[in-house]
Amino acid sequence: MIPFNKPFLSGNELQYMRQAIEAGKISGDGVFTNKCHSFFEKKYGFKKSLLTTSCTDALEMAALLINIREGDEVIMPSFTFVSTANPFVLRGARIVFVDSRTDHPGIDESKIEELITDKTKAIVVVHYAGIACNMDEILRIAAKYNLYVIEDAAQSVDSFYWDKPLGAIGHLSAFSFHETKNIISGEGGMLAINDDKFSNRAEILWEKGTNRSAFFRGEIDKYGWVDVGASFLPSDLIAAFLFAQLENLDLIQARRKKIWETYYGELKSLEQKGLLRLPFIPSYATNNGHLFFLLCNNLTQRDKLLGYLKGKGIHAVFHYQSLHKSNFYKDKHDGRILKNCDLYAECLLRLPLFYELADSDIKFIVRSVFDFYK
């Protein structure tokens, strides 16, 4: 069976974890945590970065930082993972779901403005497949109505909007290092802070509501309870693993993009015949090779193709089911029909894409897709 995903170890993961153990400090905010923070701040210009135990946790920090309260409204796409919404729902917000674009699963920025009320507090964008949303338009709307912009950049490491790194654009951004992402640490995430006014408080929330980070840096002589918080910081063992991955970022990205481009080039003729649709990358966006999807013409075909590939030993998968139709949210949704979102939920299929996917397997997968359409 060709799996859908296989976590890739780039070489130094175990050695760095051993180093952390031998140095005698494996709790959070250690040497490797700081190496990871510096890496991101230098390479992508985030004002401040804080590793977290997941992207979900980074989004919870974002919801706390912008003081989400009962009755606030938060605008976001319906075609996303539950973690985009949960942190805001946990703080009592109502989620106002927006449809996807017709040419891409990302949020349709032209449908946002009409949904803004005096309760709206933030727009959360998701750069699906690492492909940027139309950020200039989203920033324009946010500035006009004085809203926060939060990037769910879970899939967006090393991807860009024009020349701006994703995650460096919104007030706050959340990355994921879950084993299915490009850069991994098993479970893991990061909050990127681009508005300085959040920096101090972010560090306090991160350290269980205490000013321990400032104490560690020698800025104060004792630390105590100064705010709410939780234990959002990962062990330095996780950071050690992650740092080994970051050192090989270029290598990992190059291979993933190559696989993506091979799929795209090989399957193009099926798109030209109208049998399926391939991803569209707007001129303002880059591709970071996070995931390769194709769009079948309808649900029946998609499920048939999934089954056909499974029969060939290829594990392809579908993706998000519309959040506005989920068991948890359907009665809370305002009833608007989100037609593109539902279409992606029914027609989208993701092919295996991971660093160690062999060229021969890629050929076999492509041939199998062709065989299905014969």
Ligand X SMILES: *Cc1c(COP(=O)(O)O)cnc(C)c1O
Residues binding ligand X (CB under 6 A): 54-56, 80-81, 83-84, 126, 152, 154-155, 176, 178, 189
Q: Nearest Cα to 158, choosing from 166, 147, 146? A: 166
CB of 151 to ligand X, least distance (A): 10
Residue among 167 and 189 whose Cβ is closer to ligand X: 189
Residue among 44 and 320 whose Cβ is closer to ligand X: 320
CB of 218 to ligand X, least distance (A): 32
Residue among 354 and 372 whose Cβ is closer to ligand X: 354
Q: What is the dihedral of CA 223, 226, 230, 233, to 10 degrees?
A: -40
CB of 189 to ligand X, least distance (A): 4
Rounded Cα gap, residues 181 and 175, in angstroms: 10
Rounded Cα gap, residues 131 and 288, in angstroms: 8
CB of 115 to ligand X, least distance (A): 20
DSSP-derived secondary structure for 238-288: HHHHHHHHHHTHHHHHHHHHHHHHHHHHHHHHHHHTTS-B-----TTB---
Contact 16, 240 (CB under 8 A): yes
Strands 73-77 and 94-98: parallel
Contact 39, 243 (CB under 8 A): yes
CB of 194 to ligand X, least distance (A): 18
Rounded Cα gap, residues 159 and 174, in angstroms: 14
Residue among 81 and 215 whose Cβ is closer to ligand X: 81
CB of 53 to ligand X, least distance (A): 8
What single-letter DSSP state applies at residue 225?
B
The pair phi, psi for residue 151, each rounded to 5°, is -95, 120
Residue among 155 and 368 whose Cβ is closer to ligand X: 155
CB of 117 to ligand X, least distance (A): 25
Residue among 231 and 297 whose Cβ is closer to ligand X: 231
Contact 76, 84 (CB under 8 A): yes
Contact 49, 190 (CB under 8 A): yes
Rounded Cα gap, residues 129 and 151, in angstroms: 13
Which residues partner with 189 through β-bridges? 52, 176
CB of 187 to ligand X, least distance (A): 6
Residue among 19 and 86 whose Cβ is closer to ligand X: 86
Rounded Cα gap, residues 232 and 221, in angstroms: 23
CB of 156 to ligand X, least distance (A): 9
CB of 180 to ligand X, least distance (A): 7
Residue 277, token pair as written in the block: 């649709």
Residue among 154 and 347 whose Cβ is closer to ligand X: 154
Residue among 65 and 126 whose Cβ is closer to ligand X: 126
C-alpha dist (Å) from residue 300 to 97, 204, 297, 305:
26, 50, 9, 9
Residue among 77 and 229 whose Cβ is closer to ligand X: 77
